[in-house]
Structure 1
Amino acid sequence: MMQRRSLLQALVATALASQVSPMALAAEPRRLPWRNWSGSQQCLPMARKAPANMAELQELLSSTTGTIRAVGAGHSFTPLVPTDGTLLSLSRMGGVSDADSSTLQATIGGGTRLGDIGQPLHDAGQAMVNMPDIDEQTLAGSLATATHGTGAGLGCMSTLVTGLELMTASGDVLWCDAQQHPEIFQAAKVSLGSLGLITRVRLQNREPYKLRREMVWMPLEEMLEAVDGLADKHRNFEFFYVPFSGWGFTDAHDITDEPIAAAEEAVDPNEGTMELKTVRDWLDWSPALRELILGTYARTIPDEVKVGNSWSNYANERNVRFNEMEYHLPRENGLQALREVIAALESKHHEVFFPLEVRYVKSDDIWLSPFYQQDSMSIALHRYFEEDYKPFFATVEPILRKYGGRPHWGKLNSLGQDEFRELYPRWDDFAAVRRELDPNGRFLNDYMRKLFG
């Protein structure tokens, strides 16, 4: 009893010495930490909010001060989200509505995850024209960063937007399209979340369709000789190179009437990635032996064919976490840049085991789209989330910049305002619209202020 009393007295004395009253502790709001998917970005916001409707969203804007940053699924690797102000999710304001069978357009809530769009659209007699290879992102977040799939004749997701609803810092609600507020519309289709909150999106779709997906392994040089032709031949086409193997594989999708069928011998990409890590761990000391083992194994992998509804064939399940850099280069420069990237990787960075991913994207006229007036080849590089990505990315980024690349807005890069202004002819036009809509910078965190002032 005496020991417990002494402990109680010591605790009281400590509390008094800290000069923090119980009332003050009770009044302090509970702060919930946030981190992105890979863990490379994190923050401790003052508040985390998820309004259920437009009225609650307007009330939030009018009743709070300081920075507000919208957050989707946390799949961006750049510091677009972190803030010590208010972190806002539109996850409760999602869903598909107003599907028009005559125009094949539908209205979709900005907080809707891409993976939750396919089936409702299908039930309404529609399908998205294209999708990225991860469907965890929200629609508004995907548009904000010019997220893309692959296809030499297909643009990024923002090119499919025919109208959008934007709530500004003052709580005003603007419907923007080619006729109403056309300049704001051009800016808002890729905006980094800096103009306001995109609450609804009118998306141009098409009739439902099935895709035949075929993956074929081949030696690196044979693959590089073929890829440009394959990109023009197939509706969707991308390819991968496995470092220190001399082998890669192509991934092509085409519309088909064939019945839905699963691949007979499907390779699990997550298991495959971890197997590559194991080989790296064992054979990092001998690139030649590593290439012999991996090349021999690659020869045994059969072609893989899968037929499915469009939305189910685009997306892969990515459970092995990573940090990523991706640059979009003028298509005519892409293969030469890729060869230099592979040479630098295999001479200086034996620690890398993730495959390099290469995609194709059609040009557009959206002010902050990385594909602005540029048919592109996109080169993506990954590093395991528990390992330091900085040395590898620092080696490769100058090569990608040398060939005229623009970084993906959600992927790691070292560029600042001056470099971006050189890459984007309409940068100052965008900045002017941004200042007009948000003169006090409520939607700018520290990173965004460095970009837009």
Structure 2
Amino acid sequence: MLNRRNLIAAMGGLALASRYGVLPAMAAEKRRLPWRNWSGSQQCLPQSRIAPASLAELQELVASTEGIIRPVGAGHSFSPLVPTDDTLVSLSRLGGVSDADSATLQATIGGGTRLGDIGQPLQDAGQALINMPDIDEQTLAGSLATATHGTGAGLGCMSTFVKGLQIVNARGELVDCDARNKPELFQAAKVSLGSLGLITQVRMQSVEPYRLRRETVWMEFEEMLENADSMADQHRNFEFYYVPFSGMGFTDVHDLTDEPVGTTGKNDPNEGAMELKMLRDWLEWSPTLRRLVLGSYASTIPDEITIGNSWKNYANERNVRFNEMEYHLPREAGLKALREIVATLESSHHEVFFPIEVRYVKGDDIWLSPFYQQDSLSIAVHRYFEEDYKPYFKTLEPIFRKYGGRPHWGKLNSLGGADFKELYPHWNDFAEVRAHMDPTGRFLNPYLRDLFMGETG
């Protein structure tokens, strides 16, 4: 017969596993809990999945645990950054917004905080994030580790807004860094692939709360290309999408406004994706007919206007799963590359239905940022998660590379350490800092070990 205290403890453990996708330390020793990312393209069966409840518990875990430790966030990366057979650590219980300074407009945010959980408490403190990506499920630490970005020709990736970091290193020690204190570590840690340690706190530069007017307009592909660069320079945030085999796409812009919150009504992007899949299933045999149907329908879609608080207007709910490849190209070469990508897609891959997403990002000086000294045009391509993405991505990746693209760290690509060393002038500098922070490679899974040490063992 179960003891009441043991029953309550067991229920608590199950609640933790359900909420955080992890098991308490004692349960994790008895039973392995599989992990997979959002799309299912990356999987592993670690010995332990743990979510420490305090900083001290995390430090003790790192200091006492043997084998490889990998941080895990929301699982929204598609590249093999997370998988390990040893220990996965979630910082989901070390989140939240604190220490908001009204004079500097800076705030301290826990590394395990989901982006979608930052907006309201930051607004309550009289602040707002400068920019955000269009998915807000990711954790802050994971977003920084992969140089996650929104869009805006005058706005950098998320890592450019970081003013200070707190990290637990491979010995379980707490290390603080910023532009003055350990500047080389700070430069490396702003985009680190989770290879330097566990980012527990982030000091973020914010701005005063602001409202955005978001407008979506459908137009012909050639018209979008003709206007893209000028629209990127005219609007605070600008991106556009092209729907394959339609000749049509839509622009999506955000601008600061004092207008009252409201909307004209929005199309559901998840329903739209499945409708595109249905048309693909029906008309894949005839690209001409498919273009006629899609183009005719798209030309009837009304413009959409949504006015809301910044953090609510950026994010879209993505329920239709996919795998993704995204490359960041020099802005001056981006539209030419896009033309070639669309032509190649429509001549060779009639099975594709997901729109191509195009965004603009300002260059920076962060060692492993894909935007290092490069104002960029980012092009993202997708495949439905139940379908094989490899042939499509294999066809397009040489085009991305021909135009000088660097892959998004969290998206699928085929590059290795030698390739990245050519793309990043400070690759060796980063490797030196990494080796100092983690000399035995405790934070390197097979993928990262191969990148930084040239071996998979």
**Class of the TM-score when normalised by the shorter of the 2 chains:** over 0.9
Aligned to 1:167: 168
Q: Which aligned pairs between 1:328-343 and structure 2 lie closer than 5 A?
A: 328-343=328-343
Q: What does the per-residue CA deviation read over 1:410-445, in whole Å, with 9 as the maximum and x for residues that have no partner? A: 000000000000000000000000001100000000
Distance 1:37 1:85 in 2: 20
Output one character per residue of 1:204-240: Cα deviation in whole Å (capped at 9) or x when no partner.
0000000000000001111110010000000000000
Instruction: Provide the residue aligned with 1:4 in structure 2.
Output: none
Aligned to 1:12: none
Which residue in 2 is equivalent to 1:405?
A: 405
> Where does residue 178 of structure 2 map in the other structure?
177
**How do 1:374-393 and structure 2 match up within 5 A?**
374-393=374-393
| Aligned counterparts of 2:253 and 2:343: Cα–Cα separation in 1 | 26
SS at match of 1:346: helix
Within 2, Cα distance between the matches of 1:134 and 1:262? Answer: 20
Q: 2-side partners of 1:406 and 1:341: how far apart?
A: 16
Retained in 1: the 8 A contact 2:74–2:138? yes
Normalised TM-score (structure 1): 0.94
CA distance, structure 2, for counterparts of residue 227 and residue 149 of structure 1: 16
1:2-401 correspondence runs (5 A): 29-264=30-265, 266-401=266-401
Question: Residue deviations 1:250-303, cap 9 Å, x none?
Answer: 000000000000233x11100000000000000000000000000000011000
SS of residue in 2 equivalent to 1:119 = helix
CA change 1:33–1:102 in 2 (3 A) is same
Answer yes or no: is the 8 Å Cα contact 2:276–2:354 preserved in 1.
yes
Q: 1:117 to 1:287 in 2, by over 3 A?
A: same
In the alignment, the residues of structure 2 paired with residue 231 and residue 108 of structure 1 have an alpha-carbon distance, to the nearest angstrom, of 30
Aligned-partner Cα distance in 2 for 1:62–1:379: 41
Task: Name the SS of the counterpart of 1:306 in structure 2.
Answer: strand
Looking at structure 2, the residues matched to 177 and 436 of structure 1 have their Cα atoms a distance apart, in angstroms, of 17
Larger radius of gyration: 1
Write the distance in 2 (CA, Å) between the matches of 1:262 and 1:278.
Answer: 28
Matches of 1:207 and 1:333, distance apart in 2: 35
Q: Give, in whole Å, the separation in 2 of the partners of 1:64 and 1:386.
A: 36
Query: What is the TM-score normalised by the length of structure 2?
Result: 0.93
User: For the Cα contact (< 8 Å) 2:28–2:49, is it kept in 1?
Assistant: no
The 2-side partners of 1:64 and 1:173 are apart by 16
Inter-partner Cα distance in structure 2 for 1:386 and 1:73: 20
Offset from partner CA, 1:19-63 (integer Å, 9 cap, x none): xxxxxxx99720000000000000000000100111101110122
AA at the equivalent of 1:407 = P
Task: Find the aligned partners of 1:320 and 1:446 in 2 and give their Cα distance.
Answer: 30
Aligned pair in 2 of structure 1 residues 167, 289: CA closer, same or farther (>3 Å)? same
AA aligned opposite 1:295: G
CA distance in 2, matches of 1:250, 1:241: 9
SS of 1:225's equivalent in the other structure is helix
The letter of the residue matching 1:399 is I
Amino acid paired to 1:178: A
Write the distance in 2 (CA, Å) between the matches of 1:63 and 1:183: 27
Three-state SS of the structure 1 residue aligned to 2:191 is: coil
Extract unaligned runs of 5+ from structure 2. 1-26
The match for 1:437 is 437
Aligned residues: percent identity? 77
SS for the counterpart of 1:451 is: helix
The separation in 1 between residues aligned to 2:40 and 2:29, in whole angstroms, is: 26
Other-structure match for 2:9: none
Paired residues in the alignment total 427
Q: Distance in 2 between matches of 1:424 and 1:410?
A: 16
Q: Match of 1:105, as an amino acid? A: Q
What SS does the corresponding residue of 2:176 show, helix, strand or coil?
Answer: strand
* Counterpart code for 1:256: T
Give the conservation status (yes or no) of the 8 Å contact 2:212–2:257: yes
Instruction: Give 3-state SS (helix, strand or coil) of 1:360's partner.
Output: strand
Give the secondary structure class of the aligned counterpart of 1:107: strand
Question: 3-state DSSP class of the match of 1:162?
Answer: strand
Report if the CA contact (8 A) 2:279-2:290 is conserved. Answer: yes
Matching residue's letter, 1:218: M
**8 Å Cα contact 2:61-2:172 kept in structure 1:** no
Q: Which runs of 5+ in 1 are unaligned?
A: 1-25
Look up the match of 1:452: 452
CA distance in 1, matches of 2:28, 2:236: 58
Which amino acid is 2:399 matched to?
Answer: I
Aligned equivalents of 1:251, 1:62: Cα separation in 2: 47
Q: 3-state DSSP class of the match of 2:346?
A: helix
In structure 2, what residue type is equivalent to 1:394? K
**2:14 alignment counterpart:** none
The separation in 2 between residues aligned to 1:356 and 1:96, in whole angstroms, is 34
Partner of residue 22, structure 1: none
